[in-house]
Amino acid sequence: MTQKKYHHGDLRAAALETGTELLKSRDADDLGLRELAREVGVSATALYRHFPDKDALLTALAYQAAEALGEFQKQAGLRAGGGNAGFAAMGIAYVDFAVENPALFRLMFRKAANIDVLSGDIESVGSAIRGLRETVAGLTPATLGDDKRKASALRAWSLVHGLACLILDGQIEYDRELIRSVVVSRSVLSS
C-alpha cells in the first residue's frame, strides 16, 4: 500500500504533470505556486528543491507545452501526407491546439523568451519548437531568394499565430471552415 511517504519519489515530474493538467482545464495561464503544491499534496516550499522560483516552474511547463504542440502538429502533417496539404493541416493544427489548450498556448509564448530557441542553442533545447520553425522554413519554394523565403515562412507563421491569438482573446469566433479558408487561401489574398 503506497502510504504517504515523507519523500515524494519524483516531485518535479509530478509537479509538471499536474501543472499541465491544471492548465488544460482552464482558460487563463495564472497557475499559482501554492495552488499547484496544494494539488500535488505537498508543501509550497518543497517545489523550491526542484525549481529555483515560480518563473522557472512555469518555463518548464511552457517547454513541455511547446513539445506537445510540435508533436501535435507533426502528426497532423503526416496524416495529411505532407506537401501543401500537409502544410495546411499543420497550420490548422496549430490553431486547433491553441483553441483546445488556451492556457498552455498562452503560457508557452509568455515564457518563450526564456526558452531561447532562436538565440543560439537550438540543439540543446531539443526538438521543442524547432519542428515548428523547420516546418515553416521548409514549406517555402526553394526556388525563391533567401530573403523572400524568409518572408514567406514568417508570413505563414504569423498568420496561424495571429489567428490563434485573436480567437483566444475572444476577438473572433472559432469557425473551422473560416479558419480553413484563411489558412488555405492562396489566390484571394491580394494585398
Partner DNA sequence: CGATTAATGTTGACATTGTTATCATTATGC
Partner DNA sequence: GCATAATGATAACAATGTCAACATTAATCG
Of 14, 22, 56, 112, the one binding a second copy (CB under 8 A) is 112
Smallest distance, DNA to C-beta of residue 54, A: 3
Taking the C-alpha atoms of residue 171 and residue 173, their distance in angstroms, rounded to an integer, is 7
CA atoms within 13 A of residue 31's CA, in its CB half-sphere = 33
Taking the C-alpha atoms of residue 39 and residue 19, their distance in angstroms, rounded to an integer, is 9
User: 3-class SS at 66?
Assistant: helix
Nearest to a second copy of 40, 73 (CB atom):
73
Looking at 17-25, 64-72, 82-90, 97-105, which segment touches a second copy (CB under 8 A)?
A: 82-90
Smallest distance, a second copy to C-beta of residue 46, A: 26
Cell of 187: 489566390
Of 121, 123, 146, 147, the one binding a second copy (CB under 8 A) is 147
Residue 170 identity: G
Q: Which stretches of the chain bind DNA, using CB under 7 A?
A: 5-9, 11, 32-35, 42-46, 48-50, 53-55
Smallest distance, DNA to C-beta of residue 128, A: 23
User: 3-class SS at 175?
Assistant: coil
